[in-house]
Structure 1
Amino acid sequence: MKMRKIRGMKRRHKSIEKWIVDNMPFRYDLLETYKEDHCDIVVHPWCDLSMTGSIIPPAKGKTKLLMIQGLTRIYFAWKEQLEVSQQDYYLKIWLFNARFDLSRVVCAVGESKDFYEKQLEGVKDEYLPTNTFSNAHSLMSNFSWQRKDDNDCYSNNDLASPEDYSSIDDYLKQENWFNKLLKKPHTTTLLGDAKGNFTEAHCFHRGDIWIGGTEQGIKSQGIK
């Protein structure tokens, strides 16, 4: 498959700065309604789906560094605002290794906070490897990191029933795709949600997620 060429990097870098500035104010209304919020890397073309069949190359070099700086700036901006609110919260940067474009800042309170914390219960802190996000390693010196698997998980419920499709042919195509998928190496596990519901899921390993945060009171030390 052809790799798409990305042009106009100066313009792209300005878009990164706009994405950062737009997302630094914390959205208390979303947190109050859904008990969680997150900030994805919404910068074109890396957040886009390719409509031409070509592959959008992952961000690298200076572009990737600016995105990591952005996640860090958003993290500390949210942290400062959350500490003023004087409520218990979960706030972490999720750095995806292999699928970097999925990286984000995640915040949660209440049951959602407990849900996220239980995912890494008993997982020891690790040092972020020097060959992982190496160009931004100095930005992460104040963060404590834990690693978890980055999996794509599908349940049998995802296939749904023929009545949920526009035609029986569409259902059969999806069923065929799902059956072929299950022949690939994967693990089967029970996944729970914040409400305590569990579903059997088939999980396919895609890489690692490095989840990092700082202690209360740690500030950004002038990250720009």
Structure 2
Amino acid sequence: MSNPYSNKKKIRGWKKQVRKINYWKNYNLTLDVTKLHKSQRDYVKVAIDPWHRLVKRNPPIWYNRLILEALIEIYLNWHKTLQESGEPFYLKIWLFDHHFINSQVVAATGDWIVGYNNTFIKSNEARTFTFEKYKIHNFSLENFQWELHVEENYFYEKIDQISEAEINKIKQKAYRSGFLQNGDRYFAIKTGDVWIGTLHTLY
């Protein structure tokens, strides 16, 4: 019996796939100011089928570059709107590597600024952004400051009801561990990198 959640079907019609990027970009190009004022946050995920399903899959690198171009356009439009508001704001591109399809533009105001600034742990690896890998045509990525963070998957001893045997296996893979305020122990396993991009203020 085939897996109903499988996402391995061969992709056909690449011209149509490229058009999907444009539809998605144009739909999200304008920041929803009303939503932002109400919830103090807004974001755009790469919701393009068949890549962004329950079981996600990564597109080829040339397609990722087209998505990144669209993310940049969305970011710049949102940046202009937020600057005109005159209020402090958080606006970043979260570029996931290697789970690229999880990449997104994230905006926040008010109390959510602090929360989003603490979403990811900074990496202690001394690596520079892979400009050549993500080279695009519509904008220079060097106009952004890129900081390397860690993508993590969390396991909680009490919430997830992890057995001692499972804990020992997780410990071997864990990037770090600690305790929550309620005393529950957590384990974080590194699953990839997240490059967080911020437009240089002098641009």
Give yes or no for the alignment of 1:210 onto 2:195.
yes
Which of 148, 164, 188 lines up with 2:177 in the alignment? Answer: 188
The residue that corresponds to 2:3 in the other structure is none
Q: What's the TM-score, normalizing by structure 2?
A: 0.80
What is the letter of the counterpart of residue 183 of structure 1?
K
1:144 aligned partner: 145
Identity %: 24
1:84 equivalent in alignment to 2:91 = no
User: Counterpart of 1:162?
Assistant: none
Contiguous gaps of at least 5 residues in structure 1 = 51-55, 160-174, 219-224
Report the 3-state secondary structure (helix = DSSP H, G, I; strand = E; otherwise coil) of the residue aligned with 1:201.
strand
Where do 1:126-205 residues align within 5 Å?
127-130=128-131, 133-136=133-136, 139-156=140-157, 158-159=159-160, 175=161, 180=166, 183-184=169-170, 185-186=173-174, 187-189=176-178, 200-205=185-190
Which has the larger share of helix? 1
CA distance in 2, matches of 1:106, 1:148: 15
1:105 matched residue in structure 2? 105
**Letter in structure 1 aligned against 2:109:** V
Q: Which runs of 4+ in 1 moved over 2 A?
A: 1-4, 115-127, 133-139, 154-159, 175-182, 189-192, 197-201, 215-218
Cα offset for 1:199? 6.7
Q: TM-score, normalised by structure 1?
A: 0.73
- SS of equivalent residue, structure 1 residue 129: coil
Unaligned runs of 5+ in 2: 1-5
Measure, in 2, the Cα distance between the counterparts of 1:31 and 1:105: 13
Deviation at 1:126, TM superposition (A): 6.4
Q: How many residues align structurally? A: 193
Q: Specify the SS of the correspondent of 2:189.
A: strand
Q: Partner residue of 2:72?
A: 72
In the TM superposition, what is the alpha-carbon distance from 1:114 to its structure 2 partner?
Answer: 1.7
Match of 1:11 among 11, 16, 32: 16
- CA drift of 1:81 comes to 0.8
What is the aligned partner in structure 2 of residue 163 from structure 1? none
Q: Which amino acid aligns with 1:116?
A: Y
Amino acid at match of 2:78: W
